[in-house]
Chains A and B, each alone.
Chain A
Amino acid sequence: MSTASLPDIVFMLLFFFMVTTVMRETSLKVVHVLPKAQDVAKLERKSLVAYIHIGPPIKALQSIYGTEPRVQLDDAFASTKDIPTFVEKVKSETNEQEVPMLTYSLKVDAEAKMGIVTDVKQELRKANALKINYSCIRKEQKKSGI
């Protein structure tokens, strides 16, 4: 059996994965188990999505930061007061015409309380960042009786 074309095939696969790979830009400092929902929609245009993580700190950081849910923006823990600055930063990094299409994806731990989420939402409203997405995992839909 001739294996001469094997390198070519492998290279082809290699290029495919090289092109499609997106390296994770931020390292997570909080844990979030996302809630499940049925009526979810896919988030398009990842370049126009900014992430806000909320959840308890990861195990390694729990001795310093405790287990209360915290907000993470970019690579660091933040308080809700940092959100307007974060929004401005995200907006300045985006093409001006595309700023209205920016979506803020809230990746929140299912166990977190609404208090911290409400605070974040209020800050987003103050910063005029109104399009948000509650990140969820798709759950199989029960058959509706129409």
Chain B
Amino acid sequence: MGRRARESQEINAGSMADIAFLLLIFFLVTTTMDTDTGLTRVLPPYIDEKTQEPPPPVNARNVFVVLANANDNMLVEDEYMQIEDLKDAAKEFIIGRPNDLANEKFPDFKKVEDPDLIKYFGANQMISKQIISLQNDRGTSYDLYVQIQDQLAIAYREARDEMSVEKFGVSYTELSKSDKEEDKDKAAAIKALIPQRISEAEPKDIDQARIAAGRSN
């Protein structure tokens, strides 16, 4: 009697593994282990054109102009350029010629009051007035735009790396990855020495009007 009662309580678990396998395969197939990567940027706050004060004039020698047109051609500092050459040209401009300020092709230098900078380089350290201005047409392909953004970011990083190796013997990339307070300060100093200044032109309404007119034709 007792033996029979115990037997009736047992469940046949032989198919358990099969069921589990089935579910496992389902989840294996549906899982997407995609990691999202991309270029993170911060947009400037919106300014209404009517209330906007005209921006302060910038000396042309301090601006590195990158233009991209609807045919995906690029004009850099009034010269036709391929995307492969953009990084080196931008890097050369970012670093500038601090010992040859008479050279009008490279940006001017100025003194700034920045505690991060003074800590390592003293109060007389000059920094470049460089600005990179990026202007694109509404017909420029998104691909080219991303390539330009990418190459400019790499140009800044490599310029900082070189500067950091020269001043501290360690690259900026490594300094910014480090957890040490000293390294963080050094990274901040390099960042203050070569600030990333990429300015995107405000889209113009004229372009929209022109394109609208073009469509109706």
Contact check, B39 vs A18: say whether CB atoms are below 8 A apart.
no
Selecting from B27-35, B74-82, B123-131, the interface stretch reads B27-35
A139 to B5, CA, bound (A): 67
Contact check, A136 vs B43: say whether CB atoms are below 8 A apart.
no
Whether, in the assembled complex, A131 has its beta carbon less than 8 Å from a beta carbon of chain B, the answer is yes
User: Which chain A positions have C-beta within 8 A of B30?
Assistant: 21, 23
**Contact A109:B142 (CB < 8 A) given known A37-B39, A39-B150:** yes
Q: How far is the CB of A43 from chain B (nearest CB, A)?
A: 4
Contact check, B161 vs A146: say whether CB atoms are below 8 A apart.
yes
Q: How many residues of B contact A (CB 8 A)?
A: 48
A20 to B154, CA, bound (A): 34
Considering only residues 1-32 of chain B, those with a C-beta below 8 Å from chain A are 13, 16-17, 20-21, 23-24, 27-28, 30-32
Q: How far is the CB of B139 from chain A (nearest CB, A)?
A: 5
Contact check, B38 vs A112: say whether CB atoms are below 8 A apart.
no
Contact check, B158 vs A103: say whether CB atoms are below 8 A apart.
no
Contact check, B17 vs A131: say whether CB atoms are below 8 A apart.
no
Residue in chain A with minimal CB distance to B28:
A17
Whether, in the assembled complex, A59 has its beta carbon less than 8 Å from a beta carbon of chain B, the answer is no
Whether, in the assembled complex, B168 has its beta carbon less than 8 Å from a beta carbon of chain A, the answer is no
Contact check, B37 vs A114: say whether CB atoms are below 8 A apart.
no
Q: Which of A7, A46, A114, A118 has the most CB of B within 10 A?
A: A114
Considering only residues 175-197 of chain B, those with a C-beta below 8 Å from chain A are none
Whether, in the assembled complex, A13 has its beta carbon less than 8 Å from a beta carbon of chain B, the answer is yes
A113 to B207, CA, bound (A): 14
Residue in chain B with minimal CB distance to A23:
B30
A109 to B143, CA, bound (A): 8
**Contact A134:B146 (CB < 8 A) given known A7-B13, A13-B24, A17-B28:** yes
Whether, in the assembled complex, A14 has its beta carbon less than 8 Å from a beta carbon of chain B, the answer is yes
Whether, in the assembled complex, A135 has its beta carbon less than 8 Å from a beta carbon of chain B, the answer is yes
Considering only residues 111-146 of chain A, those with a C-beta below 8 Å from chain B are 111-115, 117-118, 121-122, 124-126, 128, 130-138, 144, 146
A110 to B140, CA, bound (A): 11
Contact check, A136 vs B153: say whether CB atoms are below 8 A apart.
no
Whether, in the assembled complex, B119 has its beta carbon less than 8 Å from a beta carbon of chain A, the answer is no
Give a binary string over A87-121; 1 marks a CB under 8 Å from any B CB, 0 the rest.
Answer: 00000000000000001010011111111011001
Considering only residues 143-175 of chain B, those with a C-beta below 8 Å from chain A are 143, 145-147, 149-150, 153-154, 157-158, 161-162, 165, 171
| 30 sampled A-B residue pairs with Cβ under 8 A | A6-B17, A7-B13, A7-B17, A14-B20, A21-B30, A37-B147, A39-B153, A39-B154, A39-B157, A41-B39, A42-B35, A42-B37, A43-B38, A108-B142, A111-B142, A113-B139, A113-B141, A114-B136, A114-B139, A114-B142, A115-B138, A115-B139, A118-B138, A122-B203, A125-B44, A130-B45, A132-B42, A133-B40, A136-B150, A146-B162
Q: Given A10-B17, A109-B142, A144-B158, list of 16 further CB < 8 A pairs?
A: A7-B13, A35-B146, A37-B38, A37-B147, A39-B150, A40-B39, A105-B38, A110-B146, A111-B142, A113-B140, A115-B138, A117-B145, A133-B36, A134-B39, A138-B37, A146-B161
